[in-house]
Amino acid sequence: MAIREKLESVFAGVVQRNPGEKEFHQAVREVLDSVAPALARHPEYADAKIIERICEPERQIIFRVPWADDRGEVHVNRGFRVEFNSALGPYKGGLRFHPSVYLGIIKFLGFEQIFKNALTGMPIGGGKGGSDFDPKGRSDREVMRFCQSFMTELYRHIGEHTDVPAGDIGVGGREIGFLFGQYKRITNRYESGVLTGKGLAYGGAQVRTEATGYGAVFFAEEMLRTAGESMDGKRVVVSGSGNVAIYAIEKVHQLGGTVVACSDSSGYVLDEKGIDLEVLKDLKEVRRGRISEYVQARPHATFVAGGNVWEVPCEVAIPSATQNEISAESAAALVAGGCAVVVEGANMPTTPEGVRVFEQAGVRFAPGKAANAGGVATSALEMQQNASRDSWTFEHSEQKLRTIMQDIHARCYATAEEYGMPGNYVAGANIDGFRRVADAMLAQGLI
């Protein structure tokens, strides 16, 4: 059977075995579309059924999370942890608390995490978890009770040598603190390396908060450098206004670019003078408000309710909100607005149709598994510090992050050229990540 036919057969099997999980199907499709050249060069991968094995999680855990709100009303949510692949190290990946979470979302994120983590060059496998719990509008005590109930089940499946969760959408420093406290209480162990994204006061790492946003911009900087350009003077649009977006904006401004728009689920703000980071941080990190409130502090700015932030002309776009936010229409709007570089700060924020629009227009496009790997890379650095009972300075940690992102860019770029697809960062990222995991799986036998 020809390689392409074989891959189509594998994909059909994935869809049949995982019905209704469209995000997972999309993530698998993207990888399978890229790795055919690697399979042609390495027939041992096909012989050992590496593709079939890598598409099937090693373990899928689903559990009930009961908790009571401040009025005493009982709620029941569903918790997930998908431990996808441990060929390179303990499972590593965040926890997402959001109403949209279901098994298909967690599996898509976990599958992406396998290759993202491989690209970092760090000894970490791929996994993901979360719940359909919505922390928005909940008091600190309600969030604490939920996190304690969630960890009461999760604790038996994780550990610094087994599975190391971190944060994601809806899970920040507050939630990680509550989760870590409950883990410590149940196990009677101060196992710092069991969770990353911790506060600096109890084993956290410098730059972890900033890492995903900073890392995406470092990757963009390398893309620009290969074309003889820099971030200096560039007009940039960033979607979202959470952790990734905030620190992407911060690093763009430090490198001389100007972010003129950002968004949340209610719409977007346009600030031609450049997004005011202090206002945005206060609004989102302290008051947990809506982006519409930004114009109260910056009256010259414009809020567009329900608007599409990708209609704002820019040279560089950094989607940092959620999956599939850039459709073919949005991609066409970016191209029409002069966008030349797209760097995914979020996980799979561009639909396959959107990616094709960018490819046809010659837009340089970096997939999330490469461009937003800075977060998990810095989590691995946090694990290193925890293991050695050490603590690094902000400057030292940031330089390590920059070096890791430069290395990821170099490998993606070189792999794309090696396989006859120069400038194709999607192919470069997928093939390089896949080869690293496949070689480890071969070495470890049929497990």
The fourth-level CATH superfamily of domain 211-371 is NAD(P)-binding Rossmann-like Domain (3.40.50.720)
16 known ligand binder: no
Residues 382, 384: Cα–Cα separation, whole Å:
5
**CB 270 within 8 Å of CB 293:** no
pLDDT reported for residue 23? 95
Residues 190, 207: Cα–Cα separation, whole Å:
22
Task: Please give the positions annotated as active site.
Answer: 128
92 known ligand binder: yes
Residues 139, 143: Cα–Cα separation, whole Å:
6
pLDDT digits (tens, 9 = 90+) for 222-271: 999 999 999 999 999 999 999 999 999 999 999 999 999 999 999 999 99
Tens digits of pLDDT across the chain (447 residues): 588 899 999 999 999 999 999 999 999 999 999 999 999 999 999 999 999 999 999 999 999 999 999 999 999 999 999 999 999 999 999 999 999 999 999 999 999 999 999 999 999 999 999 999 999 999 999 999 999 999 999 999 999 999 999 999 999 999 999 999 999 999 999 999 999 999 999 999 999 999 999 999 999 999 999 999 999 999 999 999 999 999 999 999 999 999 999 999 999 999 999 999 999 999 998 888 999 999 999 999 999 999 999 999 999 999 999 899 999 999 999 999 999 999 999 999 999 999 999 999 999 999 999 999 999 999 999 999 999 999 999 999 999 999 999 999 999 999 999 999 999 999 999 999 999 999 999 999 999
Q: What's the half-sphere exposure (Cβ side, CA atoms, 13 Å) at 417?
A: 6
To 5 degrees, how large is the angle CA 318–CA 131–CA 349?
Answer: 20
Report the length, in residues, of the chain.
447
167 known ligand binder: yes
Residues 117, 112: Cα–Cα separation, whole Å:
9
The SS3 of residue 427 is helix
Specify the pTM.
0.92
258 known ligand binder: no
**Which residues of the chain form CATH 3.40.50.10860?**
59-190
pLDDT digits (tens, 9 = 90+) for 114-149: 999 999 999 999 999 999 999 999 999 999 999 999
100 known ligand binder: no
The fourth-level CATH superfamily of domain 59-190 is Leucine Dehydrogenase, chain A, domain 1 (3.40.50.10860)
212 known ligand binder: yes
**CB 238 within 8 Å of CB 425:** no
**Which residues of the chain form CATH 3.40.50.720?**
211-371
Q: In 68-86, which positions are buried (b, 16+ CB within 10 angstroms) versus exposed (e)? A: eeeeeeeeebebbbbbbbb
Residues 390, 397: Cα–Cα separation, whole Å:
12
